[in-house]
Structure 1
């Protein structure tokens, strides 16, 4: 009989072989607390339902890993590679994931809350139902993602690449779009009255057609064109 692990795996530095051994010795989802996976090769491993608490994944390779329903809390993963990983229904809370790679990952119904994703690349992900809230997405590549009808709470999208993103009927609750690339983005029906629109240039403002902005924001946009509202 394969034993389960009723207690979390705590304070260990784990290699690929270590994780494979743990997976082969249990039929339940694993919980890791304060474990070190830095530089580890975890590609293609089946870690569905696993929980990671205060773990480190700096420059770890997780491409094509099965991580559906996984939970990540206060983890660090600078420059980790999640390319083509399955993260359906995964939840990330208070994690530092700057400069991570997510190309073509499955992120359907995944949630990122209070997460740092500065410089991350999320182009081409499968993100139906993907949610970000109170997160740093500065200079993040989010090309083509849909935020349609979402309430976007305190998202800092400054300098982000939002080319082709769909914000139709979205409501921005704070946050920033300062200097973001809005090429071919869609904002029809969006409520932008509480978001920072600073730095937008004339080509960008045309994509805001159909959105609601405040009088103050309108004055700022006109000022960018060298006009003054009397």
Structure 2
């Protein structure tokens, strides 16, 4: 890993299709940077701020965006494979359709985000803030959702099979047509006070 670039502001830069391999940024600010179709592998962004940044069709593999803030960014068809986003916040971002495969998105703030049709598979999302999030028609497979904040979330038509829903209060979310497996159904029934017997 190269020496980190610290406390630098990047403003109105064109990084279209840039290959960000093993780069390391700490407390940097990215404002109106075009990262459309960019790729990152093994890159680290620690405590960075992204404002009005274009991540359209970008692909990130084994990279880290920890404790970062994303404001009004466009992540149309962005992919995060095995990435770590612990403690990051998304505010008024365009996140559709987002693909997340593996990695750790624990303690991430996605409150109120439009994630219709998004795909989250095999990712750790412990204590993530999903209050008011719209996951209508989304795929959320094998995801660790323990201690997630669900209040007011929309899960209609979402496929939640294989995910940890032990902290989900079914009465606090919109859930019509959401798909779950038998084990999840039993756990949710227990959460509602039912004594499940065969």
- State whether structure 2 residue 84 is matched by structure 1 residue 111: no
Alignment size in residue pairs: 197
Counterpart for residue 215 of structure 1: 182
Which protein is richer in strand relative to its size? 2
* TM-aligned CA distance change 1:147 to 1:97, over 3 Å: same
| TM-score of the aligned structures, taking structure 2 as reference length | 0.87
Q: Tell me, which stretches of 5 or more residues in structure 1 are unaligned? A: 1-10, 12-33
Separation in structure 1 between the aligned mates of residue 184 and residue 12 of structure 2, nearest angstrom = 47
Which structure has more relative contact order (CA 8 Å, sep 6+)? It is 2
For 1:129-185, what per-residue CA distance to the aligned partner results, in whole angstroms no more than 9, with x for missing partners? 222221311111113333333442112222112123222222322112222122222
For 1:164-212, what per-residue CA distance to the aligned partner results, in whole angstroms no more than 9, with x for missing partners? 32222223221122221222222122222211112223543x4333212
Which protein is richer in helix relative to its size? 1
Secondary structure of the residue aligned to 2:10 is: coil
Counterpart for residue 104 of structure 2: 136
RMSD: 2.1
Question: After TM superposition, where is structure 1 displaced by more than 4 Å over at least 4 residues in a row?
Answer: none
Bigger radius of gyration, 1 or 2?
1
How far does residue 126 in structure 1 lie from its aligned partner after superposition? 1.7
Counterpart for residue 91 of structure 1: 59
Q: Tell me, which stretches of 5 or more residues in structure 2 are unaligned? A: none
